[in-house]
Amino acid sequence: MLSADFLYNELAGNEIGFFTGVPDSYLNEFCNYLLDHCPDGNVIAANEGNAIAIAAGYYIATGKIPLVYMQNSGLGNAVNPLASLVDRHVYDVPMLLLIGWRGQPGTNDWAQHICQGAITPEILKSMNIPYRILPDDEVKAGPAVKWAVERVKQDRTTCALIVPKGVLSGSKSNNKDAEYPLSRSEAIETVVNYLPRDVIYSATTGRASRELFFLREKRKESTMHDFLNVGAMGHTSSVALGMALARPEREFVVFDGDAAVIMHMGALTMVSKRKVPNFLHIVLNNGAHESVGGQPSAGHMIDFTQIAAACGYATMGKAVTVKEELEEACRALFAKDRAGFIEVKIHKGLDGTLPPLNLSHKEAVNGLMRELQK
């Protein structure tokens, strides 16, 4: 494995000193290194497209080359600004991309990464972005970094370094704190215990999906009432909203994450366009990108409740922090005449080690479809 210190110094030696992006588990050690060693030159963005735009602004203001880091699943968010803002036919803004390669062909990865992993090089080729795969060897990695930076500078272009599993990832730490009493799993179980058994739940990418799944398994309950949004970070509430609009006689609850909501915050405005009293949106806010390493989000710096209220949701007026407040919020907002929103402030850290989420996605969605269409 390459050390983060090595990569950072290679970049610094090639005059790269500004970083922005969305944390990725394959880049975990490097992302954490930036937090510790480059706090003023590192911006964790809302989404990957946002990071491309921030990097473009930095270059326009300084003439210096920025680096944008991301998981390859985030390339979809980045395509628009890469193709229509920084492309050579438009403003011709050069930058270096550092991309974690989930689903690399020939590796064993989860279903949501298979397609994205296969098409990652093709996406870059289709946008005329030259790339190299970062080697797991300092002797070879140094020249790869130098090649990429020189190509960016000489051709005034965007260039990418693709990072396979194990090259930079490092180990994830359990950054547990005691700022708020509830954990994610405790908040999820509180809601499931309190609300009727026939509620349809949707859970966001990462830990929320896994914790809902293993809660059902622990209680020997069917998963036919659950939609686990294992990919497409930030789109869970939109999937649930589509179901709620189609089945107004059923009740739908979303377990969302703070970083996921921030990634596509515009989705919150959709409840102002259609009446959906059968839709309850719960954000489990720990202020962190916990599933990919625990790097901070803006979750604890903003007021989701006030934002949601301005978008048309019924709210409790403030975030809840304890079990009793969460139960009261469920009681009050589950029976409202419009969509409800609950922000639950939870502590960082994982309660325990969850096994891998081993399920057939097609069987799971087919079971949910039978439940909703019966």
Residue 351 clears pLDDT 70, i.e. is over it:
no
Give residue 133's pLDDT band: very low, low, confident or very high (50, 70, 90). very high
The string of pLDDT tens digits covering residues 270-288 is 999 999 999 999 999 999 9
Query: Is residue 90 predicted with pLDDT exceeding 70?
Result: yes
What's residue 335's pLDDT?
79
* Residue with the larger pLDDT of the pair 349 and 92: 92
143, 81, 41, 154: CA torsion to nearest 10: 40
Q: What is the pLDDT of residue 305?
A: 98
User: Two tokens at 343?
Assistant: 């922000």
Q: Which two tokens stand for residue 149?
A: 């930076």
Model confidence band, residue 161 (pLDDT cutoffs 50, 70, 90): very high
Q: How confident is the model at residue 16 (pLDDT cuts 50, 70, 90)?
A: very high
Per-residue pLDDT at 173? 62
Confidence grade of residue 359 (pLDDT, cut at 50, 70, 90): confident
Residues of the chain with CATH 3.40.50.970: 4-163, 184-373
Burial of 228 (0-12, 13-18, 19+ CB in 10 A): buried
What are the pLDDT digits (tens) for 25-40? 999 999 999 999 999 9
The single residue listed with the structure tokens 């930036």 is 34
More confident residue, 306 or 1: 306
Instruction: Say yes or no to pLDDT of 172 above 70.
Output: no
Cα 97 to chain centroid distance, Å, stands at 18
What pLDDT score was predicted for residue 357?
Answer: 79
Overall average pLDDT of the 236-244 stretch: 98
Radius of gyration of the chain (CA): 21
pTM, two decimals, is 0.95
Q: Are 103 and 114 in contact (CB under 8 A)?
A: yes
pLDDT averaged over the chain?
95
What's the mean pLDDT in 110-122? 95
Per-residue pLDDT, 325 = 98
Instruction: State the pLDDT confidence band at 77, using cuts at 50, 70 and 90.
Output: very high
Banded model confidence at residue 174, pLDDT cuts 50, 70, 90 = low
CA separation for the pair 308, 240 (Å, rounded): 16
Q: Cα–Cα distance between 138 and 157 in angstroms, integer? A: 25
* 352 pLDDT above the threshold of 70: no
Looking at this protein, which amino acid is placed at residue 269? T
DSSP 313-335: -B--SS-B-SHHHHHHHHHHHHT
Domain 184-373 belongs to what topology? Rossmann fold (3.40.50)
The confidence score (pLDDT) of residue 1 equals 86
Does the structural domain 4-163 have CATH classification 3.40.50.11900? no
Instruction: Judge whether residue 11 has pLDDT over 80.
Output: yes
- pLDDT at 350 > cutoff 80: no
232-269 in b/e form (b: 16+ CB < 10 A) is bbbbbbbbbbebbeeeeeebbbbbbbbbbbbbbbebbe
Matching residue, tokens 């930076």: 149
Name residue 355's amino acid: P
Please give the pLDDT value at position 170.
Answer: 67
Query: What value does the mean pLDDT take over residues 305-330?
Result: 98
Q: Specify whether the CB–CB gap between 278 and 251 falls below 8 A.
A: yes
Residue pair 293/172 in contact (Cβ under 8 Å)? The answer is yes
For CA atoms 229, 242, 274, 332, the dihedral sign is negative
Mean pLDDT, residues 53-69 taken together: 98
